[in-house]
């Protein structure tokens, strides 16, 4: 046997031997690794990759890798945006090229994990763009969510990536926050259900054997969704009890019920401790209490922000980058994203005795484990030639359209204006700054297909109906979500556009008015020159002036609102005949809107977040404490539109509502039965919602909390009986002793089609 054969046999006896268990392989690999190679697994490149991987023209040049990354690297971020961006095939080819270097040119051949942003589809070229998560939450359809993210996972994995920095399971409690669009709304239970489905879609059974699934990353841990003053990354001032029952709940559900592999720590602080430095949060709760076995990734640049990052946020709990690295690893952050800054110092910190090498071993072990679980040591490459992206993207259009249909929420429909008759000889004016604009929201790719509202209406009516168009006014001049600079529209120019819109409106029989926000007026504020949070919830710019001017023409108006966070559409609510809340519908936006307006699809979406009357009405979430909403002088305290609300072109009745058992013990479950009947004349979809309140308890409890829902489709006159479980988990909370328990007593079980009292029927469940 020659020396090479002996070496191969030796390697196969260790971490390269697929016959051994993953744990045995990880242990064997770590014994072989130098300190430098271990720390390299805690590093990532993203912004630096164009320098390391490409020449000045953007062509791949790997000569720098053997200099900068000779010890390997843990992850590479967003290959999809390398240089000028990558097509589907180019991305697959590049991941193969890079993987080949790490597997064949580094000493131990440890493959790399490529991560991508997949908030509502891959944020890259030639990808399908689905509705934003705040819109997906409006579907109240977990099965649809799982199907969407399963499709996204397969698409991304086929291009060579292995981890999605998604889903966002923050509970969004402040509508001024520009990142509301990334969340599943204001309710912990709804967020949890959607989050669990998203994780299952991404990870499947978490064995990753089929090469169609990838690692999901829960973010942002924790409580990122209620920042002080509504500004991104601000402190979150909540008690431990509220933290556990509201903000931690979706994370725990995804860990317990979907076996999520990765968690991202949040930018914000809780009780004076930034999440990336919180041993209590990342160790005591996440690992010791919940039993999380995966790995924690940092949010982008957040380890640096423990010390100082002048262009964004500085927490000032670390004097320098050494201390920032120490705080983060001691808290349990496994890898620094997106670029090496503080964690490279860990090599010297270990040598100086300031960080034990055993801590490094602890943090890299689960990351190595999942490189084995993903099969990267045996099969690190993808077949770029098999990626028939054109056929796949065409096929995904149906799923994207179905999702957009289910998102659209009917808020108002006076005189049954909707749906319009497509065979009637209307003259329709499509007016507004969002009528002919690409509206995808944040973390979006560049889809091959995109249908604006104007395109969709024209396509729907064909030559039967004359369609007029006017921009009405502008919010911003050009610009995208990514651009730091925002050029706001000139008021004088807008006055001219409004005057033109009035002229167009006068020629029409029906007006479709597309307003709201765009990707620049509400977005993630990621540094001081890239703002996106808002102090005002009114329609941005001169849109109210546009709405008022068009309304005075005296024609029926259909308001179509696009936004990533709630907009206080007070004037529209009082004066516009019909209103559709669309959030961001994705690439099939115009087709979905046209289908709903002309009755090919009956809207059944429900609001996943309350719409306040103004910024002064914040907080506005429905599940408030009993003493929280006494009232305002000379003003309403109720929301403009409540959580769970949404109308239909048909009507529904809920009857024969009963409990299987109305008296149970603390560890027992019962069932709720309800008959749902379509009492109208067209097919429709209804979301039956179950809310629970512990009437008297050892600590104050919300006036109601969503604990069950089901979306069903019914033909005219059809009745279905729903059966929904009520378990101890639905009744428990963090009690006076901070134990998660069920307290004996009476519980109100509220059944209806929104969170409003008038839309609900109440039963009493007694727990003994």
pLDDT at res. 49:
87
pLDDT at res. 403:
98
Bigger pLDDT: 75 vs 62 = 75
- Strands annotated E in 461-574: 466-470, 510-516, 557-562
**Tens of pLDDT, residues 25-52:** 999 999 999 999 999 999 999 999 888 8
The model's confidence at residue 296, banded by pLDDT at 50, 70 and 90, is: very high
Percentage of the residues of the chain whose pLDDT score is greater than 90: 90
Residue 196: burial class (beta carbons within 10 Å; 0-12, 13-18, 19+): buried
Residue 2 has pLDDT above 50, yes or no: no
Please state the φ and ψ torsions of residue 714, each to the nearest 5 degrees: -135, 140
Question: Which has the minimum average pLDDT: 5-19, 322-336, 616-630, 717-731?
Answer: 5-19
Bigger pLDDT: 462 vs 678 = 678
Name the DSSP class of 462.
T
Name the DSSP class of 300.
T
Residue 608 has pLDDT above 80, yes or no: yes
Instruction: Give the helix/strand (H/E) hosting 746.
Output: strand 745-752
Provide the CATH number for the domain formed by 405-617 in this structure.
3.40.50.1700
pLDDT at res. 61:
82
The domain locations on the chain are 405-617, 652-767
The catalytically annotated residue of 71, 174, 299, 595 is 299
Q: In 666-766, where does DSSP find H-type helix? A: 728-731
The model's confidence at residue 13, banded by pLDDT at 50, 70 and 90, is: low
Please state the φ and ψ torsions of residue 685, each to the nearest 5 degrees: -125, 135
- Strands annotated E in 575-683: 578-581, 652-659, 663-664, 670-678
CATH homologous superfamily, domain 652-767: Immunoglobulins (2.60.40.10)
pLDDT at res. 122:
97
Instruction: Give the helix/strand (H/E) hosting 223.
Output: none
Residue 197 has pLDDT above 70, yes or no: yes
Asked if 498 and 504 touch (Cβ cutoff 8 Å), the reply is no
Distances (CA, A) of 592 to 397, 436, 506, 580, 584: 11, 14, 26, 12, 11
Asked if 522 and 534 touch (Cβ cutoff 8 Å), the reply is yes
**Tens of pLDDT, residues 648-686:** 999 999 999 999 999 999 999 999 999 999 999 999 999
Residue 150 has pLDDT above 60, yes or no: yes
Neighbours of 239 (CB within 10 A): 12
pLDDT at res. 387:
66
pLDDT at res. 12:
65
Percentage of the residues of the chain whose pLDDT score is greater than 70: 98
pTM exceeds 0.75: yes
CA torsion angle 736 740 742 744 (round to 10) = -20
Asked if 237 and 288 touch (Cβ cutoff 8 Å), the reply is no
Strand 510-516 and strand 113-116: pairing? unpaired
Residue 56 has pLDDT above 80, yes or no: no
Which residues, in sequence order, are CB contacts of 55 under 8 Å at separation 6+? 61
Annotation marks residue 299 as catalytic: yes
Question: Which has the minimum average pLDDT: 75-89, 217-231, 687-701?
Answer: 75-89
Instruction: Give the helix/strand (H/E) hosting 296.
Output: strand 295-297
pLDDT at res. 302:
98
Q: Mean pLDDT, the chain, as a whole number?
A: 95
Bigger pLDDT: 626 vs 3 = 626
């Amino acid at each position: 046997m020659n020396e090479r054969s002996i070496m191969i046999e030796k390697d196969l006896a260790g971490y390269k031997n697929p016959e051994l268990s993953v744990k045995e392989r990880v242990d064997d690999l770590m014994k072989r690794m130098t300190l430098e190679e271990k720390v390299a697994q805690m590093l990532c490149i993203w912004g630096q990759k164009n320098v390391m991987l490409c020449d000045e023209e953007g062509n791949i040049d790997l000569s720098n890798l053997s200099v900068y990354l000779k010890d390997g690297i843990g992850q590479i971020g967003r290959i999809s945006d390398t240089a000028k961006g990558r097509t589907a095939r180019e991305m697959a080819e590049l991941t193969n090229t890079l993987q080949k270097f790490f597997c064949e040119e580094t000493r131990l051949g440890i493959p790399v994990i490529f991560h991508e942003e997949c908030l509502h589809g891959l944020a890259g070229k030639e990808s399908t763009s689905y509705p934003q998560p705040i819109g997906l939450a409006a579907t109240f359809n977990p099965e649809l969510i799982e199907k969407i993210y399963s499709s996204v996972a397969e698409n991304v994995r086929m291009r060579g990536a292995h981890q999605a920095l998604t889903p966002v399971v923050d509970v969004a409690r402040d509508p001024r926050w520009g990142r509301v669009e990334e969340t599943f709304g204001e309710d912990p239970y709804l967020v949890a259900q959607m989050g669990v489905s998203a994780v299952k879609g991404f990870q499947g059974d978490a064995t990753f054997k089929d090469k169609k699934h990838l690692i999901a990353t829960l973010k942002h841990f924790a409580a990122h969704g209620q920042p002080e003053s509504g500004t991104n990354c601000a402190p979150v001032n909540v008690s431990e009890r509220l933290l556990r029952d509201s903000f931690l709940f979706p994370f725990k559900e995804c860990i317990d019920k979907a076996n999520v592999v990765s968690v991202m720590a949040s930018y914000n602080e809780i009780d004076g401790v930034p999440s990336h430095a919180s041993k209590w949060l990342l160790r005591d709760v996440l690992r010791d209490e919940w039993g999380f076995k995966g790995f924690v990734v940092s949010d982008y640049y957040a380890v640096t922000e423990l010390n100082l990052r002048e262009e964004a946020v500085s927490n000032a709990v670390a004097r320098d980058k050494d201390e920032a690295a120490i705080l983060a690893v001691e808290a349990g952050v496994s890898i620094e994203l997106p670029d090496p800054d503080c964690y490279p110092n860990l090599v010297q910190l270990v040598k100086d005795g300031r960080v034990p090498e055993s801590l490094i071993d602890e943090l890299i072990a689960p990351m190595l484990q999942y490189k084995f679980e993903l099969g990267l040591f045996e099969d690190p490459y993808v077949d770029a030639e098999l990626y028939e992206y054109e056929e796949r993207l065409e096929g995904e259009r149906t799923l994207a359209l179905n999702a957009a249909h289910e998102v659209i929420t009917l808020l108002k429909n006076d005189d049954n204006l909707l749906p319009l008759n497509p065979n009637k000889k209307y003259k329709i004016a499509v007016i507004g700054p969002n009528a002919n604009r690409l509206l995808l929201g944040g973390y979006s790719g560049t889809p091959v297909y995109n249908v604006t509202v104007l395109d969709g209406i024209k396509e729907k009516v064909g030559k039967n109906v004359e369609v007029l168009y006017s921009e009405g006014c502008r919010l911003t001049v050009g610009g995208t979500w990514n651009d730091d600079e925002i050029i706001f529209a000139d008021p004088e120019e807008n006055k001219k556009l409004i005057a033109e819109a009035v002229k167009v409106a006068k020629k029409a029989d029906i007006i479709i008015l597309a307003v709201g926000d765009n990707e620049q007026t509400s977005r993630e504020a990621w540094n001081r020159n890239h703002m996106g949070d808002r102090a005002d919830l009114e329609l941005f710019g001169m849109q109210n002036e546009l709405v008022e001017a068009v309304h005075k023409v005296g024609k029926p108006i259909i308001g179509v609102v696009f936004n990533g966070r709630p907009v206080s559409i007070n004037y529209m609510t009082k004066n516009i005949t019909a209103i559709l809340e669309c959030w961001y519908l994705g690439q099939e936006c115009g087709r979905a809107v046209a289908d709903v307006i002309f009755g090919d699809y009956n809207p059944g979406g429900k609001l996943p977040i309350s719409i306040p009357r103004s910024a002064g009405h914040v907080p506005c979430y429905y599940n408030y404490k009993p003493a929280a909403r006494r009232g305002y002088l000379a003003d309403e305290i109720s929301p403009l539109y409540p959580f769970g609300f949404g109308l239909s072109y048909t009507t529904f009745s809920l009857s024969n509502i009963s409990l299987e058992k109305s008296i149970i013990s603390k560890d027992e479950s019962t069932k709720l039965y309800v008959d749902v009947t379509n009492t109208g004349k067209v097919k429709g979809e209804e979301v039956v919602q179950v809310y629970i309140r512990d009437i008297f308890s050892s600590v104050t409890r919300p006036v109601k909390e969503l604990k069950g829902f089901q979306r069903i489709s019914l033909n005219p006159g059809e009745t279905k009986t729903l059966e929904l479980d009520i378990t101890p988990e639905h009744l428990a909370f963090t009690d006076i002793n901070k134990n998660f328990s069920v307290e004996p007593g009476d519980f109100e079980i509220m059944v209806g089609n929104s969170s409003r009292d008038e839309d609900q029927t109440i039963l009493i469940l007694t727990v003994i």
